[in-house]
Structure 1
Amino acid sequence: MKLWKIVKYWGYKYFQYTAVLFLRQRNGGFMNQHLVSIVLPVYNGARFLCQSVDSILSQTYTNFELIIVDDCSTDETPGIIEEYARKDRRVRTILHSQNQYLPQALNTGFDAAKGVFFTWTSDDNIYKPNAIKHLVDVLVQRHDVDLVYGNESIIDDAGHVIEKSNAIASIGSPEEIPILSCVGGYFLFRSQVYFDVGGYESKWFLVEDWQFWLKSYNAGKKFVRTKDNHYLYRDNTTSLSMTKAREVQERCLELSLENLRKHKSKYTNEIAMRAYLKCVGFAYRLNDKKAGIACLDLAQEINRDALSWLKPEILEWLEEG
C-alpha cells in the first residue's frame, strides 16, 4: 500500500511538472529566459520619445531592459526618461554630461547592457507589439545565425504609413550589405557580435550603423532576413538623415570606397561591381562627376558591361560636358 502511495505521489508530481512545462512552452516561458537589451539613444527627442518608449514597454516579449542614453539633451527629454525609469524597473537611464554623438551613445548603452541579445532603436521610431518576440524566436531557433532583421513600414510625422523610396538605403538581402546599408531599423543580434567587432566607431558618425554591419559581415557573422514587418520607421523632417542628407551621402561614398579597398577580395565580382556602381550613385547625388567617373572606372575593371547597369539619368549626367 505504501508503494502505491509513493507511485501515486510521484505520478502526480510528474503530471504537475509536465503541465507547467507545456504551459511555459506555449506562453513563451523559455523564450523569456533570454534577456534582450534595447538601447535608445536620444538627443533633444522629446517630440516623439514617448511614442517610441511606449511601444517598447508594450512588447509581448517582456524580458528586456531598456537603456535610454540621453546625449546631453537640452529639451524636455531628461524629465521624460526620468518619469519612465521611476514607473518601470526595466528602464535604465544613462546621462552624458556633454554631447558625444550617436556612435558613442550606442557604445555607452551596449557597454552597460546585460542581455544576451542586443538591438537599438531611435527616439522617433515605433515597434509593433510582437516585434521583439519574432526576432528572439529566430535567434533562439537558429543557433547558426548571428543577426536577424526584417522589414519596416515608413510613417510620416503624424504616424501615417507612406510610400517613399529611401535614396540611401532599402531593406535587402544579406549579400547586399557591401553595396548599401540594407538592414534597416528592425533587427536583433547576439551580444557577442558587438564585442567581437568592437562596437561603433565615432569616425563614422552618420553612417555608424552601416559601418557596424560591414564590420560584422566582413568578420563572417551570419545575417538572415525575415519577412516579418513589425517596425515603423519615421520619415522625420528633423532627423539626422534628413537635416544632414548631403553629409550622409558623402559619408556613404567614403565608407563604401574604404571598405572596398580593404575587403573587395571577400566579395563576388558582381557584388563588388554593384558596390562601385552604388558609389557612382552617391557621387551623382552629390553632383561630383570626378568621383562618379572614377567609381565607374573601378566597376568597369571588374565588368566591361558595368555601364549597362546604371540608370538612364545617371548615364546622361556622366555624359554631360
Structure 2
Amino acid sequence: MKNKLSIIMTAYNVADYISSTIDSVIAQTNQDFNLIIVDDCSTDQTQKIIRSYEKNYNWISVVCHAHNAGVSTARNTGLAKANGELVTFIDGDDWVEPNYVEHFISIFDDQDVDMVTCGFFNETESGKIKNKIAKRQTSIVGRDEAVKQIIKMTGTVMGYTWNKAYVRSIIAENNLSFQADLDLMEDQVFNVEYATLARKFYFDNVPLYHYISRKGSITQKFAMENVRDVGVARMKVYKTIRESTRNEKNQI
C-alpha cells in the first residue's frame, strides 16, 4: 500500500540511540507513512536492532549496505526505495515530536507548495537545548528567498534535510541525488538543487525535530578533508544558483 510520506532514516553505529529514534516515529499521531532504514554497514548492534523492528512492523523496511559508503549514498539508497508522494529524512541518532508527520502531511494537503519545513531543537547529549526557540512564525516564499534561507548559517531553515519534506516526483523526475563525494554540506547542495526546481515553499519554525550534537560526530570534527568538502559544496551551490538564474533569464 502506498503511503503519503516516506521517511528515510540513515544509520551507522548508532546502537545506543536508534531504538529511541524509531520509537519516536512509531509514536506519530498520523500513521500515513512508511519508514525505510538504511544501515551503512554498521559494526555494532545497529543492524540487529533495526531488523527486530522490521520483523514487528510491516511498514518498516531495512536495507543494509555491504560496504560503508557514507551518508549521501545511504540517503540515495533510501530515495531509490521510497514510494510515498512526499519524502523526508531522519538521522538514526536523533528523534522527533509525535506530530512531526502530521505537520508535513497536513500542510501539503492544505497548501499548494513544493517544500514544507519545521523548526528544531539543537540539543546536547544531556538534553540541554542550545538554540533559542522563537515564537511561531509561518510564511510562503518563492525560490529566491528559499535559496537565501537554505544557505544561511543561522535560522530555522538552513541546509538540513531532516527539518524538511519534499515532493518525491520533483526529486525523481530531475534525477536529484546526494553528492557521494561530500561528507559535509551535502544536504545544503541537495536543498539548493531542489529549490531551484521548485516553485513555492512553506516555512514554519515550530520545533518538531530534536537534533542531538554528539561528541565525535563528523560535524564536530575539524580536518583538512572537511575544509575541502565545504569548499567543493560552496562551489556547487554557487554553480547551481548561477545556472538557475541564467535559465530564468533565457525563459523571459
* TM-score category, normalised to shorter length: 0.7 to 0.9
* Greater share of residues in helix: 1
* Greater share of residues in strand: 2
**2:78 is equivalent to residue 109 of structure 1:** yes
Corresponding residue SS for 1:203: coil
- 1:166-203 per-position Cα deviation (integer Å, ceiling 9, x unaligned): xxxxxxx6233244571433211111122125221212
Larger Rg: 1
**2:150 is equivalent to residue 177 of structure 1:** yes
- 1:215-260 per-position Cα deviation (integer Å, ceiling 9, x unaligned): 1122244322113211111011132211356644542233223432
Corresponding residue SS for 1:89: coil
Give the one of 115, 132, 139 matched to 1:147.
Answer: 115
Aligned pair in 2 of structure 1 residues 74, 225: CA closer, same or farther (>3 Å)?
A: same
Gaps spanning 5+ residues in structure 2: where?
133-144, 246-252
Aligned pair in 2 of structure 1 residues 264, 198: CA closer, same or farther (>3 Å)?
A: closer
- Structure with more contact order per residue of length (Cα contacts < 8 Å, sep ≥ 6): 2
Q: Percent identity?
A: 23
Map 1:80-229 → 2, pairs under 5 A: 80-143=49-112, 145-158=113-126, 160-164=127-131, 174=146, 175-180=148-153, 182-184=158-160, 185-195=162-172, 196-229=174-207
* Distance in structure 1 (CA, Å) of the matches to 2:23 and 2:103: 18
**2:231 is equivalent to residue 231 of structure 1:** no
Q: Which amino acid aligns with 2:24?
A: S
- Equivalenced residue count is 227
Q: Is the 8 A contact 2:38 2:65 kept in 1?
A: yes
Aligned pair in 2 of structure 1 residues 163, 264: CA closer, same or farther (>3 Å)?
A: same
**2:46 is equivalent to residue 77 of structure 1:** yes
Q: Which amino acid aligns with 1:182?
A: M
Q: TM-score, normalised by structure 1?
A: 0.65
Q: Is the 8 A contact 2:124 2:130 kept in 1?
A: no
Q: TM-score, normalised by structure 2?
A: 0.81
